[in-house]
Amino acid sequence: MEHQLHSNSFYCCDDEIAEENQATAPMECEANYFADCFLMPETKVKSAFLSMLANSHKAKIKDYLHVKNDYTFSVWCGIRESLTKRYGVSEAALRYRLRQLNLARFDFTGK
């Protein structure tokens, strides 16, 4: 990373920590992006996601998933379960990475 540490401490303040899409501090955004790339390399996660999407009997589109209703949510649940275990990441981190790679869009609430 190209930033300079502001002090000799190796921690950040509570107000600098946020969910992936809500982080505003440049260092936090950079750290999140680095972690996403490190834990879920683009070529690996893209290949795995597209393979699972293609093998889903429910998915109609094989290169992009728009989760917006019960039908597409059930497709997402199958893929989510496998990829969160494979990469050891949270669902939120996986959703963020898939959005970064333009593989999925999530328009659901309260599921």
pLDDT tens for 42-76 read 999 999 999 999 888 766 777 899 999 888 898 89
Q: Around 98, how many Cα atoms within 13 Å sit in the side-chain half-sphere?
A: 27
Amino acid at 50: L
Does 7 have pLDDT greater than 90? no
The pLDDT score that the predictor gives to residue 15 is 56
The pLDDT score that the predictor gives to residue 44 is 96
Chain mean pLDDT for the chain:
80
d(CA 54, CA 48): 10
d(CA 109, CA 69): 10
**Cα torsion 4, 9, 13, 18: sign:** positive
Does 110 have pLDDT greater than 50? no
Structure tokens at 56: 């889903």
- Calculate the dihedral angle through the C-alpha atoms of 5, 11, 15, 21, rounding to the nearest 10 degrees: 80
In sequence order, which residues have a C-beta less than 8 Å from that of residue 16 and are 6 or more positions away? 25, 27, 28
Label residue 103 by pLDDT band (50, 70, 90): very high
